[in-house]
Structure 1
Amino acid sequence: MGLVETFEPIPVDAKGRFTLLDRLGGGGAGSVFLARDNALERLVGLKVVCESGRVEAHKRARLLREARAIARVKHDNVIVIYDVGETSAGEVYIAMEHVRGGTLREIQAHLELEDILDLYIQSARGLGAIHDRNIVHRDFKPENVLIDDASNRAVIIDFGLAGIDQTRSAGGGEEPVTRAVGGTPGYIAPEQARGEVTPASDQYAFCVALWEAVTGERPGPGGARSCATPGPPAWLRGILTRGLSPAPAKRWPSMNALIQELERRRRWLRSWPLLAGVDLEAGTGSREAPFAWAGVVVYRPEAWRARANMRWSRALTSLLTWVNSS
C-alpha cells in the first residue's frame, strides 16, 4: 500500500531522508505532505504522485525526468524543487520548497486591480522562466499559484502535468508537443484540447485567469465579453484578447512580450491615474469615441469640436450668470 492511501508519520524513502509530518492536501494525481528533510533539517512540501507506482516503467521514468527538468529552473516565482525520487512503495515523490500561504484563487477576489496585476505579472515571470527551459506547465490556474504570506511572492506550483517541449529543446522552433490533453476545463487553449501543446497554451490559460480575476467571470471564446459583466478595463482587454486568440501564432510572441506590454501600460496608468477608468478601446464605430495611440488618448476632430463647443457654452453661461448677479 502506498503513502497516498494511508498516511502515517513514517520515512518516505529507503534512505530515510524525508519523514512525513502532516497531510496538506491532494487529489486524483496524488497527495501533498508537510515533511522534514532529515539531511538538511528543514521543512519541505512533499508531493507523492499516486499513479506512478501502478503504471509502466517508462511512464514513471518520464515523471522523474520532467520533475528533474523543473528542478533546474531557478526563479523566485517558480517553486523550488529540492529532490525527486521513489518511495519505498515505488511511488514518485517530489520534495519542494514549503510556502506558507494561500492560493491566488483564495485571495484575488479581495484585491484591487493594481494588486491583482502585481501578482499576475509575478506569475507570468514564472511561466516565462519555465518556457525558457523548454517546459510547458499545461495547467496554469489561480489554484496553482501560492502567495507567500511573508513576502507577498507569487509562486507557481503543481507541475504534475508539465511537459518538456522536445521540439524546442532540439532547436526546431516552437512546434506542437503532442501528449494527453490534461489541464482544467475553462482554461485549456483550443490547440491543447486537440493534444497540441506549446508555451502559447500557457499564455492562453494565463489570460483566462487574469480576465477572471479582474471581472469575476471567464471570457468567452476569443475574449468575448459576457453581458453580465462589463469586462476588464479596455486597455487590459486589448492585451488579454490578443493572448486569447484561437490561433497560437496570433498571440503574444512569448510570455516575456506579454509581461512587457502589461508593465508598459501599468507604468502609463501610474503616470496618468485619472485616465485609469477611461475607455481607450479603438474601433468602436463611434466617430466621437476616443482611441489610444502609443498610450495617449486621442480624440477625433469631430469629438474635439463637440467638446470645444460645450466648453464655450459653459463659459458663456457662467459669464452671464456672474453679470446678472452683479
Structure 2
Amino acid sequence: MTACPDDDTLGAMVDRSLAADALESVSTHLDDCATCRAVVLAAVRGGIGAQPIADTAPVTVVERTPVSGAPSFTVGGKIGRYDVHALIGGGGMGHVYEAHDKELDRAIALKILRPELRSSTAVLAERLIRESRMMAKVVHPSVITVYDVGREGDAVFIAMELIRGDTLGGYARGKPWQQIVALYERAGEGLAAAHEAGIVHRDFKPDNVLIDTATERVVVTDFGIARTGTAGDVATGERPAVGDVKLTTTGAAIGTPAYMAPEQLAGRPIDVRADVFAFSVSLWEGLFGERPFPGTTVKAIEEAMRRPPRAVAGASVPRRVVKILERGLAIDPDDRWSALSPMLSELAAARRGRRGAWIAAAAIAVAA
C-alpha cells in the first residue's frame, strides 16, 4: 500500500481541487486504507475541504494579518488552561493558534484538530499525539519544544513553543553562502539530534524549519510523519501518493516528494540517510535557488535523478561545498554520508576556510 497522503492533500480531494494525476493516485490509496477513508468521510460529512489560508504562515510562525476562509471557533475562547488569541496557520487536519498559558504566563503555539473532523477524532487524535511524542523525545535547541498534549471535550491539541519569525527558506534567501551554510548547519544539528533519539524525520525541507528572527535561533518542526528507526517502522517501504510536488490549486503546500531520497520515492526501506538526502536538497536549493533534481511531478523528479546535479554557473559557492553536497545527494544510499554529523563538520570546515583549518590544526598540535 502507498504512503498515506498528507492531510492537505485529502482536504484538496474533498473540495475537488486536487490535480488529476494526484487524484488518481490518492483514489487508489483510499481503496486500501480505512484510516484515510475515515478522514475523507468525516470531511465530506462536515462539508469541508482544504480551507485556503491567505498568506499561510507555517506552524508556529506568527502572522497578524486577517486569515480568509479560516475558522474562528476558538479565537477568544479557552482550551484547557490556554487562552486562544489568534489563528496563525493551518492545513487539512488542524489549525495553529497563538495562545497564552495562564498558569506559566507564557505565549505558546496551539495546534488543534479541526472541529469538522470530530467524527474521526480517534483516528486523527492518534496522528496528533504521535507527532507530539516524536517531538517530545528530542531535547535540543534546534528542535521545537512540546509542552503538552491533551483533549478538552472533543478538541485534541498540542501545546508547543511559539517561534516568532520566518521559515529557513525565506530567511536565508539572498544571504551570503557562508551565512546560508551556517543556518543550515544549525538545522542539521537538530535533525542529527533526532537521529540520535532513533527518529527519522522523513519530511525535512526548508518550510519545516523556523527561524526566530530576533535571536536567529533555528528550529526543526513538523515531525508528523516521522518514524522511529526500528525495523517495524522505517523498514516498511511506502511510496508517496502525491503527484503534484509543489502546490495544489488551493495553494496548500505538499512539497514533500521534491526533497525525498530516491529510495523513499520508490517505497523502499529508508534510514537516516534519507534525511541526509533531504537536507542536501534543501541546502542546495538555498545556495543555488533551485533544487538539484527539478520537476513538478514525482515521475519528472525521478527522471532528473538519472543525471548528476549541476551547480549554477557563476555562483560563489566553493567547489568544496558542492562536493560535500554531491555526496549527500548520491542516488545510492551507500554512497552518501552515513550520518549528518560528519557532513556538518565538513560544511563547517569549508565555511571557515583555510584560516579555520589552520586554527584547528594548531589547536591539535598544542593539545598534543
TM-score of the aligned structures, taking structure 1 as reference length: 0.72
Distance 1:53 1:243, change over 3 A: farther
Distance 1:60 1:8, change over 3 A: closer
1:133 to partner: Cα distance: 0.9
Aligned to 2:148: 83
Q: CA RMSD in A?
A: 3.0
Aligned to 1:262: 347
- Which of 158, 165, 170 is the equivalent residue of 2:222? 158
Aligned to 1:244: 329
Distance 1:57 1:272, change over 3 A: closer
Matched letter for residue 331 of structure 2: P
**How many percent of aligned residue pairs carry the same amino acid?**
39
Aligned partners of 2:121 and 2:154 also within 8 Å: no
1:231 to partner: Cα distance: 8.8
> Could you list the per-position Cα deviations for residues 100-139 of structure 1 after superposition, in whole angstroms to 9, with x for gaps in the alignment?
1111121212211111011000000000001111112221
Establish whether residue 68 from structure 1 lines up as the match of residue 133 from structure 2: yes
Note the 1:73-152 alignment, pairs <5 A: 73-91=138-156, 93-152=157-216
Worse-matched range after superposition: 260-269 or 154-163: 260-269
Distance (whole Å) between structure 2 residues aligned to residue 164 and residue 6 of structure 1: 35
Note the 1:1-326 alignment, pairs <5 A: 5-11=71-77, 13=79, 16-50=80-114, 53-55=118-120, 57=122, 60-61=125-126, 63-91=128-156, 93-167=157-231, 176-179=235-238, 181=240, 184-195=256-267, 196-220=269-293, 221=305, 223-225=308-310, 232-271=317-356
1:142 to partner: Cα distance: 1.2
Aligned partners of 2:128 and 2:158 also within 8 Å: no
Distance 1:112 1:96, change over 3 A: same
Distance (whole Å) between structure 2 residues aligned to residue 39 and residue 218 of structure 1: 45
Q: Return the structure number with greater relative CO, CA threshold 8 A, min gap 6.
A: 2
Aligned partners of 1:145 and 1:157 also within 8 Å: yes
Distance 1:228 1:260, change over 3 A: closer
Matched letter for residue 181 of structure 1: P
1:76 to partner: Cα distance: 0.7
TM-score of the aligned structures, taking structure 2 as reference length: 0.64
Distance (whole Å) between structure 1 residues aligned to residue 266 and residue 349 of structure 2: 34
Mark the runs of 5 or more structure 1 residues left unpaired by the alignment: 170-174, 274-326
Matched letter for residue 259 of structure 2: Y
Matched letter for residue 348 of structure 2: E
Distance (whole Å) between structure 2 residues aligned to residue 34 and residue 218 of structure 1: 33
Distance 1:219 1:8, change over 3 A: same
Distance (whole Å) between structure 1 residues aligned to residue 355 and residue 230 of structure 2: 41
Distance (whole Å) between structure 1 residues aligned to residue 194 and residue 312 of structure 2: 36
Mark the runs of 5 or more structure 2 residues left unpaired by the alignment: 1-45, 49-69, 242-254, 294-304, 359-368
Aligned to 2:43: none
1:54 to partner: Cα distance: 4.6
Distance 1:27 1:99, change over 3 A: same
Equivalent residue of 2:223, what SS? Answer: coil
Larger radius of gyration: 1
Distance (whole Å) between structure 1 residues aligned to residue 149 and residue 181 of structure 2: 33
Matched letter for residue 212 of structure 1: E
Equivalent residue of 1:74, what SS? Answer: coil
Distance 1:228 1:74, change over 3 A: same
1:10 to partner: Cα distance: 4.9
